[in-house]
Amino acid sequence: MAEIVLGMWTTHGPTLSTTPEEWLLRLPSDHANKAHWYKTGRYDFETLVEMRRGEGLVEKSGIAERTRRHDACRTAIDRMADVFAEVKPDVAVIFGNDQQELFNDSLMPAFTVFNGETVWNEPSSEEQAAKHPPGIHAAEWGHKPATYTEYPAHPELANYLIGDLVANQFDITRANKLPRLENHWHSGIGHAFGFVYRQIMRDQVVPHVPFITNTFFPPNQPTARRCFEMGRTVGRAIKAWQSDARVAVFGSGGMSHFVIDESFDQKIFAALAARDAETLCSIGEDWLQSGTSELKNWIAAAGALFETDLTGDVVEYQPCYRSEAGTGTANGFVYWN
């Protein structure tokens, strides 16, 4: 039987692949946004500044703190990559999301499993880069290769998992080729997966199965409970797989952003540590919107990993603020082995 030998939860946002100075390239968008998600409400920038005035966010978003937190995140990524290299899994299952990189309003599946032979990625063209929001293109090296590259997928495992999920009442979209969309800002696999390839696997990508979840875009976002149950079904199927493969499971995304909520992030860490499935499953949709919705990938991975004997702890947590309104990305890293 196959064995799950490694579990990893990692953030993947632009703050991890840009300098502390480049974080501020996003500030014009922060100021322009009139509906930032924070906790369960939506607020403009000025209202957030007033709401959070007592949290010391001017200092926390200053260059000294930005630099310290950036460096701590880079150290954590190195640790995660070292652990992956030490464990040397044969196969990986990666739970990630799509931010209209592969799918758009013409087709937006809730759950997609890639079952092709290879996954490809490539750098953006000049025309594509010109369509990127400020501060996004600077982070591209962190999730895209320098040239067109193909990575090994695992169609045998993908097809087995799809069949098991369908038998367990999950409706799954499958794709064995990545689309190349015309006049689009992106090409290749999404950043949730490219980050893992580039920075955790250090471009030594093992055969793997991408699970692509629509966490961002209503009205067909799967709930936290549905994501956990899907992950649990996948975990049970992996352990029943007639193979001697050693498998790694990843949850790629989160944490709270584009407005940081440290107390919410700590709730996630506590639930992982306690293997508290009900706390994760009970998180309402109004808490899991915008970038924070990517934590559904962590919840899916938790479903797969809670029934293993693996143990571990938080490697690092850094709320990477870029403004006095609390905008930015909270970055977290956990592994179990």
Residue spans of alpha helices (H) in the chain: 27-32, 45-51, 57-60, 63-87, 126-130, 155-167, 191-195, 224-240, 262-274, 277-281, 295-305
Extract the tokens encoding 327.
């905008």
Residue 35's pLDDT is: 97
pLDDT digits (tens, 9 = 90+) for 64-116: 999 999 999 999 999 999 999 999 999 999 999 999 999 999 999 999 999 99
Residue 144's pLDDT is: 98
Range of the domain at 275: 3-336
Which distant-in-sequence residues (6+ apart) come within 8 Å of 22 by Cβ? 135, 138, 139
DSSP class of residue 133?
A: P
First to last CA, the chain: 18
Residue 182's pLDDT is: 87
Domain count, the chain: 1
Instruction: Tell me what the mean pLDDT of segment 300-312 comes to.
Output: 98
Q: What is the CATH number of the domain that holds 130?
A: 3.40.830.10
Residue 46 has pLDDT above 90, yes or no: yes
Write the Ramachandran bin of 328: left for phi over 0, alpha for psi from -120 to 50, otherwise beta: left
Residue 6's pLDDT is: 99
Residue 134's pLDDT is: 86
Please name the residue that has the structure tokens 């490219």. 194
Cα 336–Cα 76–Cα 281 angle in degrees, nearest 5: 45
* SS3 of residue 289 by DSSP: coil
